[in-house]
């Protein structure tokens, strides 16, 4: 595996800024803790230091996107969000990672991207509205991703 | 195909806001004209009115992402951008479409997402720095997407 000196996604597996939800050889999934207005915010991080989706082989890309879709499905089922936002930007950290964010029409930035202008300060807060056992949701995400990838390894469509 | 009344992506195939670059049964590719600070900005639009990537079957998803990656590869080869940004948001128009944007460290919003706070006004402008025969680039994108999808139809990895 290619690791890149000074890349925080190569060097940091554990951090107070996230919960490590799932980890396997080629990718890992975290739940983001440092964006409190968006509590249903996961990231799928490709473990190897590559910058772009097109740096992956087709089977790698299929695994990466299967993980993204597995996270998305759990968020849709559990939270019925207004929309899921997916993004692979990496302008700050050019190491392939996907943001998977459940968005709600009442959230602080909707319908703008979370990086866009603030629209409102929700009252009650996102944490209050979405209050739940996040560790239990993490387990659902973990199981969904593991199952999706195991199925894919067997050559079956997810 | 499910079309949705009032959805601009269902109703508008041609527009002065974009160039239609490629079109086939399940998806189309446009080049965005109404974001002049980001001239290398394409969209892959799934033709059927579905909201989320997880609404696609696995073979459909593979085709959608193969098109995204084909666009990305052409932009990387032709423009050597600092980074490619990929995003499926759809908060405004909940019809599955992927933004594929070549980003440059000198562009108006880098390293912020294009939806984030402006960082500078490039001088010379993006249009001047990236000046080229855009119709020729569109043909490269068209051919790359068509080839990627034709290859996928044959069961070969792209």
Question: Taking residues A79-102, what's their average pLDDT?
Answer: 98
**Residues A69/B53, Cβ–Cβ less than 8 Å:** yes
Q: What per-residue confidence (pLDDT) applies to A158?
A: 45
Sheet holding B27-32, edge to edge: A18-23, A27-32, A41-46, A97-103, A83-88, B83-88, B97-103, B41-46, B27-32, B18-23
Q: What per-residue confidence (pLDDT) applies to B158?
A: 45
Question: Taking residues B145-154, what's their average pLDDT?
Answer: 90
* CB contact set of A101 (below 8 Å; sequence gap of 6+): A38, A40, A41, A42, A84, A85, A86, A87, A114
For B149, the token pair is 């999808």
Which residues does B contribute to its contact with A (CB < 8 Å)? 51-54, 57-59, 61-62, 65, 68-69, 72-73, 76, 82-92, 94, 103, 110-113, 115-116, 157-158
Q: What per-residue confidence (pLDDT) applies to B118?
A: 97
Residue B147 has pLDDT above 70, yes or no: yes
* Residue numbers in B near A101 (CB within 8 A): none
For B94-115, how does the pLDDT look when each residue is reduced to its tens digit (9 = 90+)?
999 999 999 999 999 999 999 9
| CA–CA gap between residue B84 and residue B69 (Å, rounded) | 10
Are residues B87 and A86, on separate chains, in Cβ contact within 8 Å? yes
**Residues A84/A101, Cβ–Cβ less than 8 Å:** yes
Q: What per-residue confidence (pLDDT) applies to B54?
A: 98
Residue B156 has pLDDT above 80, yes or no: no
* Residue numbers in B near A91 (CB within 8 A): 82-83, 85, 103, 110-113
For A39-57, how does the pLDDT look when each residue is reduced to its tens digit (9 = 90+)?
999 999 999 999 999 999 9
Q: Which of B141, B136, B113, B139 has the alpha carbon at shortest distance from B42?
A: B141
Which residues does A contribute to its contact with B (CB < 8 Å)? 51-54, 57-59, 61-62, 65, 68-69, 72-73, 76, 82-92, 94, 103, 110-113, 115-116, 157-158
Percent of chain B with pLDDT over 90: 91
Question: Taking residues A115-143, what's their average pLDDT?
Answer: 98
Question: Taking residues B83-91, what's their average pLDDT?
Answer: 98
Percent of chain A with pLDDT over 90: 91
Average predicted confidence (pLDDT) for chain A: 95
For A144-154, how does the pLDDT look when each residue is reduced to its tens digit (9 = 90+)?
999 999 998 76
Percent of chain B with pLDDT over 70: 96
Helix axis angle, B58-79 to A58-79, nearest 10°? 120
Question: Taking residues B19-48, what's their average pLDDT?
Answer: 97
Residue B155 has pLDDT above 90, yes or no: no
Q: What per-residue confidence (pLDDT) applies to A154?
A: 61
Are residues A87 and B85, on separate chains, in Cβ contact within 8 Å? yes
For B35-59, how does the pLDDT look when each residue is reduced to its tens digit (9 = 90+)?
999 999 999 999 999 999 999 999 9
């Amino acid at each position: 595996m290619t690791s890149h000196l000074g890349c925080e996604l190569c060097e940091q597996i554990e951090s107070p800024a996230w919960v490590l939800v799932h980890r396997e050889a080629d990718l890992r999934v975290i739940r983001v803790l440092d964006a409190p207005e968006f509590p249903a915010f996961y990231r799928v991080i490709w473990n190897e230091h590559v910058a772009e989706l097109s740096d992956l082989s087709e089977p790698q890309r299929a695994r990466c996107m299967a993980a993204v879709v597995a996270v998305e499905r759990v968020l849709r089922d559990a939270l019925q969000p207004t929309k899921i936002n997916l993004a692979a930007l990496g302008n700050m950290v050019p190491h392939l990672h996907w943001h998977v964010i459940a968005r709600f029409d009442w959230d602080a930035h909707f319908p703008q991207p979370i990086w866009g202008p603030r629209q409102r300060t929700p009252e009650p807060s996102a944490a209050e509205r979405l209050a739940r056992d996040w560790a239990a949701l993490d387990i659902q995400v973990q199981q969904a991703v593991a199952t999706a990838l195991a199925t894919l390894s067997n050559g079956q469509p997810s």
